[in-house]
Chain A
Amino acid sequence: MQATRFSNILCLSLSLALIGCSEKGEDGLVAPPMLGSDTGEPGEGPPIQGDSIVLETTRGPIYADYLDFGEFPGLVGVPNLDDDDEDGQSDWNQSGDVSGDNDFALATLQTQDRAVRLELSGAAGIRIYDGSGMIMGDSAGSTYEVMSGSGDVDLRVEYADFMLQGTLQIEDVERGESFDVALTASPLLFNHHLQASKETMSVSVNGPGYSNADMMGDYEAALGDDFFAASGGDYEYDVWIQDEIEFGYATSPDAHLNVIFDMLRDRGLDDFAEDFYEKPGWIIVNWGDFWASSLDAGGNFEVSPPVTVDGVHYPYGRVYYGGAPGYQPGGATQDAVESFQVQKPFMPDSTWLCVGHVDEFTTTIPDPTAPKGFRFVISDTRSGWEVLEGMDHSTALPKYSPGGYAGHSLDSVGEMLEDTALINVNEEVQDILDEQEALFREELGLDDEDILYIPSLFEEVDECGGTVAALIPGMANLVVADVEDQPTIFLADPFLRSDVSDQSTDAMIAEVRARFPESLDLVFMDDWDVYHMMLGEVHCGSNVNRSAPRTWWEDAGHLISQEGGR
């Protein structure tokens, strides 16, 4: 209650900041904790302020005898790189002169009517404004003096980029006392599967022999208004929306910036991000020279849920992208993601796959009964063969039977089981999967009980150098989205049955249901023609924006190296 009052007072007092306080409660965002909340932010509570010079921030007061909120990361903000006034210019480039700009870190300097000297040091790309305009940073210099008798001064801190660090020294001129406040810009954070979904999206196509209407219908039935489909005709029938964009965010107690990492692949969906998300509160970014391999795609960019590895806690998980020596995602992308530090990336080998994406053989799913709150899902050919062995070998497989781009030229379960080339291919694949599982165990600190093996088989892809793709539709390539606040799994129908219209007769579906947590609903969707036979599955053809936690300044500071602003 006290915190709410403080917040309201702060908002009212910052009338010149043009801040939209209602923005802070934007639907889907997890509100930042305030001083005195149950989150138990630092200490037992501040000592009496008396007539100290105080910098009031949304997190709480900072003064010489109470520096908890001034210590790194201190007064945190987001890079002001969006275009709140929609004039075609980044707000940062307009030097604080943007109508409706709501991307500042906010503070009120309580001067006690004494003279206060301010000094800004650290990285370029930090500016500080008072009600009259820019007072420090850029051409305004690095020092500013508030004259005695000025009363309280509302300050706005603006950042030009992610991860910038600086220090604001506040000196009580009369008493000769000073204290430092760390200034830090948010890292760019990417979403993981334990964050609640806000909207799920796909690309609809409906042509002769090439329609995903059933899959779109399944999504609409489950997710309702939380799902939308872009028209394939607008995007050269490029259905691989997972590969085109990755949702992320930067956040702070006073502002939130939605970020889209617009992948370098630049195929038919290249304009999708601009068409749907070029608006105030959003930025679209990427890094590099715009040359992309298949590894520079969103399906090859995943984030684990929170993990602790060798005693280091990663509360926002870890990024992983596939590659191998000599064949990796773009160096500029890797450099950028590493620079954000909080989700320290690592690189499993995905180059044994024709498409080469980590989402073809791994994912994570929420599971409240799991020790870490999630299960790491990895493809497993051993159990794939076991499912087949347990079936009637004469079971006809009408979906697999056709050749060309329609099927796999395999007529029955028995034909699969007797295919020595297929056995040989999957033997080698399993060796690789075992290696990769070991790597994930190490990089994510996983134990046996954290891992869920999903039955799978792979086949070589013609024209792809002996690399492979899913033979049985890849069910690790799944989507986690919330239906009425309950996580639900959307995944490929394996069609390992004679009656393609009756999922209840599918032994593989039964096996997967048995392996998955009971708390999750599973929706098996027909992705055969449009996705599976085109080397992708449900996750490849979908994307999900998620609610963002707003707490990194409390729980991730240990992962960010302090540059030292002074």
Chain B
Amino acid sequence: MKRLFLVSLLFSTQALGGDFKGDLDRDADRIRVDHPEIAARVDGMSPLKNRAGMLAFPGGDLVDPRAQVLIQDRLLDGGDDALVRTALAYALDDAHRIPWAVAAELEPKVRAALISGYKKAGDADALAAFESALQDESLVVRVEAARLIGYRPDLVSETLLQGLASALSDQEADVRRFGVRSVSWRQDPGGFDRVEPLLGDASAQVRGAAVRALGKLDRERAAALPELQALSSDADPRVKRSLKRVLSP
């Protein structure tokens, strides 16, 4: 168990700095020689569909640090299609998140999946990942970044806050919706004023998120807003639900 921990620490430390790809290739080669059974498992495994129809690689054995390294290796070098590589990305635990500089070179769907590695883990590397992902050219990446940054109120920088502000005016409703939510979850200073204009958003989902977010940021102030009260005639159930939370005694 102790040895496993040391191996894990070694690999995960390598994963966070230096020549990641070179180190990974070397580590993967060594594991394939020393543990052919693990290599056979990871290299030979096929994804299964979860109940929602998304590809996945279930199995508790895959959290073995050696298996994790081989999953990293297969993800970056295995030649699988983007859907399979997306599933491989979600098979990685926090300690084996892919450095964003490496992830940024991958397809949008895979990049979006790799952001989840920073949902709970990382410091400076996580900050850099979110700063970049919030400004990503790909919609799917921006959506995931806007959603997951709400889980990381500890990450703060001027660039990140600018990215989050731009998420609120993103052309895509999902980015705005998650951006609004993340601002409230993070309780960022000035968040109320930035979210308030989205009460008039064209998307009902965004309006509903804005109502809920304002209530979370300052319920009393939100309840007094004429723009918010005016939404009581909004027919969308998501808006109604949020209004009920904010306006109920």
Contact = CB atoms under 8 A, between A and B. Distances in A.
A267 B52 contact: no
A536 interface: yes
B63 A208 contact: no
B174 A465 contact: yes
Interface of B is mostly: helix
10 contacts: A238-B49, A405-B91, A409-B94, A421-B150, A421-B185, A424-B185, A534-B56, A534-B58, A535-B50, A535-B51
A239 to B, nearest CB: 9
A237 B90 contact: no
B48 interface: yes
A535 B120 CA distance: 21
Contacts of A534: 48, 50-51, 56, 58
Given A210-B59, A466-B178, A294 B52 contact: yes
Interface string A425-465: 00010011001000000000000000000000000111111
Contact of B147 (A243, A403, A466): A466
B90 A267 contact: no
A404 B54 contact: no
B58 A529 contact: yes
Given A208-B41, A431-B241, A405 B90 contact: yes
A402 B45 CA distance: 20
Contact of B185 (A243, A420, A463): A420
Interface of B: 41, 45, 48-54, 56-63, 68, 86, 90-95, 112-113, 116, 120, 144, 147, 150-151, 153, 174, 177-178, 185, 212, 216, 237, 241, 244-245
Nearest to A243: B51
Contacts, number: 114
Nearest to B120: A409
Contacts of A299: 51
Interface of A: 208-210, 237-238, 240, 243, 267-268, 294, 299, 324, 349, 354-357, 402-407, 409, 420-421, 424, 428, 431-432, 435, 460-466, 529-531, 533-536, 540
Contacts of A267: 49, 53
Point out which of A299, A324, A424, A462 has the most chain B C-beta atoms below 10 A from its C-beta.
Answer: A462
The 4 closest A-B pairs by CB, nearest first: A209-B59, A403-B93, A209-B61, A536-B51
Contacts of B62: 209, 404-406
Contacts of B177: 466
Contact of B56 (A238, A405, A466, A540): A405
A381 to B, nearest CB: 14
A114 B120 CA distance: 89
B185 to A, nearest CB: 5
Contacts of A294: 52-53
Given A354-B52, A535-B51, 18 more contacts: A209-B59, A209-B60, A210-B58, A294-B52, A355-B51, A404-B91, A405-B56, A405-B91, A407-B63, A420-B185, A424-B185, A464-B52, A466-B178, A529-B58, A530-B58, A533-B56, A534-B51, A540-B51
A529 B51 contact: no
Contacts of B113: 462-463
Point out which of B63, B113, B150 has the most chain A C-beta atoms below 10 A from its C-beta.
Answer: B63
Contacts of B237: 324, 349, 435
A163 to B, nearest CB: 33
Nearest to B86: A463
Contact of B151 (A354, A357, A421): A421
Nearest to B56: A405
Contacts of A357: 51
A405 B58 CA distance: 5
Contacts of A405: 56-59, 62, 90-91
Contacts of A209: 41, 58-62
Given A208-B59, A435-B241, A403 B49 contact: no
A402 B4 CA distance: 14
A402 B60 contact: yes
Contacts of B94: 403, 409
Contacts of B68: 404
B147 to A, nearest CB: 6
A407 B63 CA distance: 9
Nearest to A536: B51
A9 B151 CA distance: 75
A50 to B, nearest CB: 65
A463 B140 CA distance: 9
A420 B86 contact: no
Contacts of B49: 238, 267-268
Contacts of B53: 267, 294
A299 B50 CA distance: 14
Given A209-B62, A421-B150, A431-B245, A404 B93 contact: yes
A409 B147 CA distance: 18
B60 A529 contact: yes
B24 to A, nearest CB: 17
Nearest to A211: B59
Nearest to B61: A209
Contacts of B50: 534-536
Contacts of A463: 54, 86, 90, 112-113
Contacts of A460: 147
B35 to A, nearest CB: 14
Contacts of B52: 294, 354-356, 461, 464, 535
B144 to A, nearest CB: 8
Nearest to A422: B151
B59 A529 contact: yes
A531 B116 CA distance: 22
A428 B184 CA distance: 13
B81 to A, nearest CB: 16
Contacts of A431: 241, 244-245
Point out which of B60, B62, B63, B245 has the most chain A C-beta atoms below 10 A from its C-beta.
Answer: B60
Contacts of B51: 240, 243, 299, 355, 357, 531, 534-536, 540
A418 B45 CA distance: 36
A135 B93 CA distance: 73
A420 B50 CA distance: 27
A268 B212 CA distance: 41
Nearest to B53: A294
Nearest to B91: A404
B63 A404 contact: yes
Given A420-B153, A463-B86, A534-B58, A406 B63 contact: yes
